[in-house]
Amino acid sequence: MTSKFLRSVLAIAVFSMISAWAQTGGAAAAPTGAAGSPATASSPVPTSSGTKLGTINIEQAVLATNEGQRDFEALSKKLEPKRNELKGQSDELEGLQKQLQTQGDKLNEDARAALVKQIETKKKALDRAAQDFQEDGQNQQREMFQRILQKMGQPVIIKYAQDNGFSMIVDTSNPWPQSPVLWATEGVDITKAVVDIYNAQSGVPAPAAAGGAAKPATPKPAAPKPPAPKPAAPKTNEPPK
């Protein structure tokens, strides 16, 4: 899921995570070579002074965790009844609009005015319900994302960087030019290593897809999208799928 609201959440959450770490003195280098330390990242980039740089797609990392897949899937199922309800309202509104198109010229003035009023009333109600549904879904997604990111921050990402001698880890969730990273080799990316460590520590099993097959490692759960009403012509919004 790469979505606008998640990117905003990401910027806020990452800043909070790093600020909290700095305030608690987390910047001190952790001992390396300790038992149970993660393996060294492949091909880190050294600068001329020997500084090791790495990259991580934090948005992808959060959504790729077993916990993230499980929780976002559970949220999708939780919102499904309301999504279907809104689709029903949208279908009803579309039916009234088609009725107005096909029969409007055959109705007397009072009947046509009543139908138009009914369409306007239902459209306003659907607009409000759809907006509430979208805001509620986004708020719940934001809470899930921040909760996982908080647990992934210092305990996993920062510790991994310290244990493996990195001086800087840059987030690549947003493409350049929103991100300062224009280009980097795959070998410096620590996203998979962080996800693997997080999964091992969380103890949450990988969710299985239908037929017992494992889900993709980096799913993109879509933000819940409410259906928007369909005007008679032209159509500018589509009902939820």
Q: Which ranges of 104-210 would DSSP assign to H, the alpha helix?
A: 109-152, 159-163, 191-202
Q: What are phi and psi of 178, to 5 degrees?
A: -65, -35
Instruction: Kindly provide the residue ranges of all beta strands, DSSP E only, lying in the chain, ordered along the sequence.
Output: 45-46, 52-56, 166-171
Q: How confident is the model at residue 20 (pLDDT cuts 50, 70, 90)?
A: very low
pLDDT at residue 226 above 60?
A: no
Q: How confident is the model at residue 124 (pLDDT cuts 50, 70, 90)?
A: very high
pLDDT at residue 76 above 80?
A: yes
Q: Point out the least confidently predicted range of 13-17, 81-85, 107-111.
A: 13-17
CA distances for 169 relative to 7, 83, 144, 209, angstroms:
18, 39, 23, 33
pLDDT at residue 110 above 90?
A: yes
Q: Are 93 and 229 in contact (CB under 8 A)?
A: yes
The closest alpha carbon to 232, from 125, 124, 107, 102, belongs to 102
Distance, in Å, from the CA atom of 170 to the CA atom of 182, rounded to the nearest integer, reads: 11
Amino acid identity, residue 203?
G
pLDDT at residue 38 above 60?
A: no
The pairing of beta strand 52-56 with beta strand 166-171: parallel
Q: Point out the least confidently predicted range of 25-39, 103-117, 193-207.
A: 25-39
The closest alpha carbon to 157, from 41, 9, 70, 33, belongs to 41
Q: Are 57 and 189 in contact (CB under 8 A)?
A: yes
Residue 50: what pLDDT? 66
Q: Are 219 and 61 in contact (CB under 8 A)?
A: no
Torsion-angle region of residue 25: left (phi > 0), alpha (psi -120 to 50) or beta?
Answer: left
Between 65 and 27, name the one with better pLDDT: 65
- Indicate the pTM of the whole model: 0.61
Amino acid identity, residue 78?
K
CA distances for 207 relative to 67, 69, 197, 223, angstroms:
9, 7, 17, 19
